[in-house]
Structure 1
Amino acid sequence: MFLLSPPPHLPPRFQYALLSLILAYRASTLSSNLLTDCDEVYNYYEPLHFTLYGYGLQTWEYAEEYALRTYAFLMPAAAVVKTTTAILTPLINLNLLPPHLLSKPSLFNVLRLFLSWSCGYSEYRFILSIYNHLSPQVSLLTFLFLTPSAGMFHAAPAFLPSSVALTLTMLSTSLHIDGDYIEAIFFGMLSVVGLGWPFVAVLYIPLGLHSLHASYTNPHASTLSHRLLASTLTLFIAIFLLTSLSFIVFLVDNVYYEKATIPSLNIFLYNAVGSTPGEEETGKSTGDELYGVEPFSYYLKNLALNFNLIAVLSLLYPFTKAIKYLTQTKKPSKGPPLDLIIIAPLFLWALIVFPRPHKEERFLFPIYHLIAFSAAVSLNDATTFLKQTLKLPPQITKLLLLSTLAATTLLSRSRINALSSHYSAPLKLYTKLHSQILSNSIPNQSVCVTGEWHRFVSHFFLPLNSRLQFVESGFTGQLPQHFTSGGSAVKAPQKFNAVNGEENERYVDISSCDYFVDLTLPSSSTPKLLQTDSREGAWTMVEHEIYLDAERTAGLSRVIQIPGVVDGGVYEKYAFYEFH
């Protein structure tokens, strides 16, 4: 059916080696990884914490009158935490394992490991499918471009719909390559309706059309009526899966919001037309312009940071494919090549999603595997052209290939080094804060923040007797508030708005705080603020981690780190204080 005939399948021992290598690499990066997006904390980890422990911070998106987030997305993560707890509790009670494995930070890490390994398994399936049905060379290049990349470093463990969309899209695409169209449709539908992020449906338009075409041209369907029946059956299964999964998601949200609502529809309307249920015209920007906009170059800069030369090679795909087609002595007789079908969603995503004014790095997550794959195809086609058409010596083409791989690997590693050394302080510090609060054994501790509210790493890093509180600072937007016992089902008016307006009820006085977390920049007002505390006693800095002062660090040192070449930077203290 396809232009390229499938090569021999990868022997099982190499399959296991590939899977083990990817999973081991994903696990090894967790200790140096970080939370790059406050939306991950406040819109996903905090509601998850609420479903597990009965408290957490609530954003306006989870308010009953807006209902922009689906609780169905949280349920698998909650199941991972509860299953881990159920398995470990008897072993800990028998003194076979240490009790700290059931601490909230440990369970947080278990969840991130689950997310990383789920993504790693999808990577493995994607790379294996390319090997089996396209080219061993392209498969190897895809692996070398995708797995060690800086983009995958922070996308794989992220608890975000866009990150899980990457995992499900990779898996669906690999099944599609293998010809398992029904399974591919299932995971595609799951990503469209189960994540509360319906925009990912764009990625499945080419694959869905190709699935229908493959059903219609099935060699086992010998007559026109059989072909029509086969394609109709595929379409029926897709509609059945869409309806069934949507109904399950609807039931989950009906339980948590206690009303009939479809968050996926709400968020689509909110982003597409700036509409929020029950929100009157205020004259302020809403929709995807609410939190500011960036120029189109924002995406290009992120691609350069996360995929370096790989991104450039990916953009060259149309040109290398055109050159390959023009120089082929034997033209394909029917249909587009499989690699073009796989890559089509990448360019469709660029045409539809990129022009939207609300720019977020996470919007790129679902196409990361396609960036690596298209770059691999481009490089493979280019080296083949140089060797076969231009007749360059094999040594030169091999040198060019190895130089490209070495450069992309070095740049990816240097970016990961920079991210880890520059910005991992919050996770490290809150882990120490968790231990400090536990050691004091004092109930009802308040941990306060001002401008550092956006680097909070969730209540998973505060013991059960502690809460995060906000002290007023220069920030004038809308901060989250603590969930009430009724969660999103509270029908009474709450202090939420859909225009990011400041709500002064969120703030507490510094004199009610037991701990205080802040980044002590030269311009920081932390010491002055702590001196306004009217209580008898004093604030003491207990622990700190280093955090890059990007404004005072020049050049490449902000974005990459190569020991002895591009190193250094201006660091400040990310610290927590305790009141005695």
Structure 2
Amino acid sequence: MPRMPKKTQLPTPPTTPASATTPGREPGGSEQRDDVASSAVHLANSNNHATTTATPLKQTLKQRNPSSKHSSNGHGLANGHRTRTDSKMGEFEDTTDNSGSDSSSDRTELLDELARWRNAVQPYCPSYSVAFKTIFLVRALAATYSNISDCDEVFNFWEPMHYLQYGSGLETWEYSPLYAIRSWAYILIHAFAAEITRLAMSANRLQVFFIIRIILGAVSAHCEATLYRAVVDEVDPRIGRYLLLTLITSAGTWIASNAFLPSTFAMYTTMLFFSQMLQPPHQHSGKRTFWAIFWVGLGGLLGWPFSAAVGLPFALEELLIHSRNQSKKKTVRFRDWRRIRFLRLVTSAIAVLACVLIPIVVIDRYYYKKLVVVPLNIVLYNVFGGDVGPDIFGTEPWWFYILNGILNFNILFIAALISLPVLLVTYIVIPDALPNSPSDSGQIKDPLLLFSLKLSPFYLWFAIFTAQPHKEERFLFVVYPLICFNAVMTLFMVQKLVQRGLDRFVTRSKTAAIHKYSAGLVWVVLIAAAALSISRILALHEHYSAPIDVYRKAFDLVKVPGPIVIEGTADPTIVAASAATNGATSEDGGVTAEASKKPEIVRVCVGKEWYRFPSHYFLPEGAKLGLIKSHFDGLLPGEFLESDNASGELPPLEAQPSANTGKTHQPFRIDWRWSAERRLGTSNIPLLMNNENKEVHEHYTPLEQCQYLVDLDYSGRYTDKDDSSTADLIEPRYLQDKEKWERLYCTKFLDTTVGAGRHPLIRAFWIPDKVTVALTRGQTKVWGDYCLARRKATLSHPPSPV
């Protein structure tokens, strides 16, 4: 005779008043939802759902909700995202495989009801779509208004891409085939996007520049929104909301998101990798492992090899944390799981290495005309470079990255630095308050180890590059999103500690109010950090955006004599039409010899401001940058060597004998504008180039050959008593020589040596002028003139309109 089941009461929705919440739990938060989900698991583990209760259950559920089908939760959760409610439902269903079909249907409806109860109190979290659109709006603004913070971005990436697209550009020693520590594969993927933009939108080179920055911002927005949703689904919805706000408002992500740098590309892949790492380990599936290794490998091989260091904590997690995730498959024996994980890591790494590295080597072999492994060359140079390593370009003190982090993330950077100590204190005092703890998922036995591994990528990266003497701001771009994650984790845990501490000193009736105000304090901190970051962004734009503005004007103001040249094409019909427009056609309708010539090269020269040049995308067709002597005595870039094929046309190939007697055929050759045969500068060894940062005088342009000049004049540093005897002979005040130079366009640039600009806070953050005067005891900001000037001697022969 079958045993009669014990009577079971259907769990009711949580209706406990806020004043009666458990100490340490926030009313209306995820703890309350987890209690509901835990009751479902308790019902599953107990043998209390027999078929005798099926009919009452079904009737009760239908009365509460006539449509018990799966539906959207109505709280912004994107379709397809796994939540902890789903895992609880999976655990419940796995324990009831032997039940009848009617009973299983009733249990499914019951779990749907429990999930709806949980969603009813879940805090609002924007969906992936809403998050992406919001972040992309900010990134599009950054693409338009943010400065280029590092000259390496221009000379090592924008200029080579301009050379591939338009056949002109400046080359650094890193692209010399002798050293080959920059990959043409990385340039090529961006050049494809640039060329598609040019063809599809008929965009000129200046428009291509900004559109590429917007595309980079869109990629960043996708990665950031993916990371945000992973935190919402795998960690805690409130932490996800905190993270979304910090990603949108921080000055660090504003600077890094649109940069054309390998460290920014590695930042993209790090976000996608970390989204995989946040998922719990799986015993029976290698999908998480493969994609985590793939993103780390892609960022390390195609972007920056050192970014692979952020994947080390993931490998440790795979080998140290055993997941007993529920599955219908047979559970792997404990002594075998680590061996299986290790083999999974190795096979994934080999597959990614083959899929990513082989195409990179093939592309670099095509352009360099020699076999090179660029990621290996980068590591050898930076680690084993010796006397010619990166230290020759300057060293910084150990606290450089701390100061940089505080400037770009302010309070959040300090919170990120103390995330591990706060985690340890939280685990000792209130371990049940950790998000995604074992009390929630029942899968991970050691939450301290789990969260230590999640927080460690930032610490590992910070320690590695702090130990290096040569430091640059862009080196920290890789972990900028992880700084935000560590910071919001700290704020979340501090909130829990404050709640638990205050619960001991107040009455039970005031607990809900304390929890409410403590949560509000987190938002106060986040809003304060956002305000400081916005102030930093405004300061960067107001104080230092003059180079972008001046060169943007130069695209229209610099005039090139000669026929009109449609960029990116040598179509004779276009040249003929352009020549006819300018009256340069012969009587029979052909193009005259004068019109068929290439446009005359116009030199736009810079001296001390060479490192703020934003690339040849800001100069019209036929204009090139000229470098004049300044106090900088290091190695400046030179032009790509095109001596063997100055015209850019493909050299003829000798006809080869055909298989058929008496016939010849033309050898196969890739005939496109970016081919290595047309861009010989990719394989030609530049003259007098070195990797020791030694000055090469041949890279300078004589001032007499400069038709235009971009210079910065700090008039506030001089008085009327100054005369020529005190003038700087190497960097003279060109703009003051009004007999030779005519100012075409000028804008202001902050002088950081006189006036209020000497104070670090004044020049680092935007502060209203009245407050600035009060803080500096009457001093105001002094501005220099950042100008584009034209040589007056050229006015007697006005150039042809372009």
* TM-score for the superposition, normalised by structure 1: 0.89
Change (3 A) 1:214 1:238: farther
- Aligned position for 2:749: 547
- Aligned position for 1:495: 688
- 1:174 positional shift: 0.9
Among candidates 112, 117, 138, match of residue 218 of structure 2: 117
**C-alpha deviations, 1:94-118, integer Å up to 9, x for none?**
xxxxxxxx11111000110111111
Q: 2 CA distance for matches of 1:55 and 1:329? A: 61
Change (3 A) 1:511 1:15: same
Q: Is 1:521 aligned to residue 714 of structure 2?
A: yes
Among candidates 776, 781, 787, match of residue 575 of structure 1: 787
Give the conservation status (yes or no) of the 8 Å contact 2:458–2:479: yes
**C-alpha deviations, 1:379-400, integer Å up to 9, x for none?**
1111111113332723542453
Q: 2 CA distance for matches of 1:399 and 1:230? A: 43
Q: Is 1:478 aligned to residue 615 of structure 2?
A: no
- Aligned position for 1:267: 378
- Aligned position for 1:240: 351
- Aligned position for 1:557: 762
Among candidates 321, 332, 342, match of residue 223 of structure 1: 332
Between 1 and 2, higher relative CO (CA 8 Å, sep ≥ 6) is seen in 1
- Aligned position for 1:107: 208
Q: 2 CA distance for matches of 1:527 and 1:315? A: 46
- Aligned position for 2:475: 363
Q: 1 CA distance for matches of 2:456 and 2:604? A: 48
- Aligned position for 2:570: none
Q: Is 1:504 aligned to residue 697 of structure 2?
A: yes
CA RMSD of aligned residues (A): 2.6
Change (3 A) 1:213 1:56: same
- Aligned position for 1:46: 159
Change (3 A) 1:261 1:216: farther
Give the alignment of 1:278-317 within 5 angstroms: 285-317=387-419
Aligned residue type for 2:230: S
Q: 1 CA distance for matches of 2:330 and 2:367? A: 47
Change (3 A) 1:479 1:400: same
Aligned residue type for 1:26: R
Give the conservation status (yes or no) of the 8 Å contact 1:290–1:499: yes
- 1:63 positional shift: 0.8
Q: 2 CA distance for matches of 1:104 and 1:498? A: 31
- Aligned position for 2:169: 56
**C-alpha deviations, 1:5-44, integer Å up to 9, x for none?**
9998952373322221111121123222110100100011
Change (3 A) 1:383 1:499: same
- Aligned position for 1:451: 608
Change (3 A) 1:548 1:513: same
Change (3 A) 1:477 1:230: closer
Aligned residue type for 1:541: R
- Aligned position for 1:95: none
State the percentage of identical aligned residues. 31
- 1:440 positional shift: 6.8
Q: 1 CA distance for matches of 2:130 and 2:431? A: 38
Q: Is 1:154 aligned to residue 225 of structure 2?
A: no
- 1:183 positional shift: 2.0
- 1:529 positional shift: 4.9
Give the conservation status (yes or no) of the 8 Å contact 2:170–2:640: yes
Aligned residue type for 2:391: E
Give the alignment of 1:8-19 within 5 angstroms: 10-12=76-78, 14-19=127-132
Give the conservation status (yes or no) of the 8 Å contact 2:252–2:480: yes
Q: 1 CA distance for matches of 2:315 and 2:619? A: 45
Larger displacement relative to structure 2 (520-529 or 385-394): 520-529
Q: 1 CA distance for matches of 2:691 and 2:539? A: 36
Q: 2 CA distance for matches of 1:570 and 1:165? A: 39
Q: How many residues align?
A: 551
Which SS does the other structure have where 1:443 is aligned? coil
- Aligned position for 2:292: 184
Among candidates 372, 390, 393, match of residue 502 of structure 2: 390
- 1:132 positional shift: 0.4
Max Rg structure: 2
Q: 2 CA distance for matches of 1:36 and 1:481? A: 21
Aligned residue type for 1:51: L
Change (3 A) 1:190 1:217: farther
Larger displacement relative to structure 2 (295-304 or 330-339): 330-339
Q: 2 CA distance for matches of 1:61 and 1:440? A: 34
Change (3 A) 1:230 1:528: closer
**For structure 2, which runs of at least 5 residues remain unmatched after alignment?**
1-30, 38-72, 79-125, 281-287, 439-443, 507-513, 563-598, 643-679, 718-726, 774-779, 796-802
Give the conservation status (yes or no) of the 8 Å contact 1:546–1:573: yes
Q: 2 CA distance for matches of 1:11 and 1:258? A: 51
**C-alpha deviations, 1:268-310, integer Å up to 9, x for none?**
11111225xxxxxxxxx42121111010111111011000000
Change (3 A) 1:134 1:521: same
Aligned residue type for 2:521: L
Q: 2 CA distance for matches of 1:177 and 1:156? A: 22
- 1:528 positional shift: 5.2
Q: 2 CA distance for matches of 1:433 and 1:235? A: 53
Change (3 A) 1:127 1:528: closer
- 1:62 positional shift: 0.8
Give the conservation status (yes or no) of the 8 Å contact 1:185–1:208: no
- Structure (1 or 2) with the greater helix fraction: 1
**C-alpha deviations, 1:37-88, integer Å up to 9, x for none?**
0010001111111111112000011111111111111122111111212322
**C-alpha deviations, 1:504-526, integer Å up to 9, x for none?**
10112111111000111246856
Q: 2 CA distance for matches of 1:245 and 1:140? A: 34
Give the conservation status (yes or no) of the 8 Å contact 1:517–1:576: yes
Larger displacement relative to structure 2 (33-42 or 330-339): 330-339
Q: 1 CA distance for matches of 2:708 and 2:451? A: 55
Which SS does the other structure have where 1:472 is aligned? coil
Q: 1 CA distance for matches of 2:358 and 2:471? A: 31
Give the conservation status (yes or no) of the 8 Å contact 1:560–1:566: no
Which SS does the other structure have where 1:497 is aligned? coil
Q: 2 CA distance for matches of 1:547 and 1:214? A: 54
- 1:167 positional shift: 1.0
Give the conservation status (yes or no) of the 8 Å contact 2:539–2:765: yes
Aligned residue type for 1:449: V
Give the conservation status (yes or no) of the 8 Å contact 1:10–1:128: no
Larger displacement relative to structure 2 (499-508 or 137-146): 137-146
Change (3 A) 1:353 1:158: same
- Aligned position for 1:411: 532
Give the alignment of 1:128-207 within 5 angstroms: 128-178=229-279, 180-195=288-303, 197-207=304-314
Give the conservation status (yes or no) of the 8 Å contact 1:149–1:412: yes
Give the conservation status (yes or no) of the 8 Å contact 1:414–1:560: yes
Give the conservation status (yes or no) of the 8 Å contact 1:46–1:458: yes
* TM-score for the superposition, normalised by structure 2: 0.65
Larger displacement relative to structure 2 (221-230 or 54-63): 221-230
- 1:532 positional shift: 9.2
**C-alpha deviations, 1:329-361, integer Å up to 9, x for none?**
669672345543322111111222210000101
Change (3 A) 1:409 1:216: closer
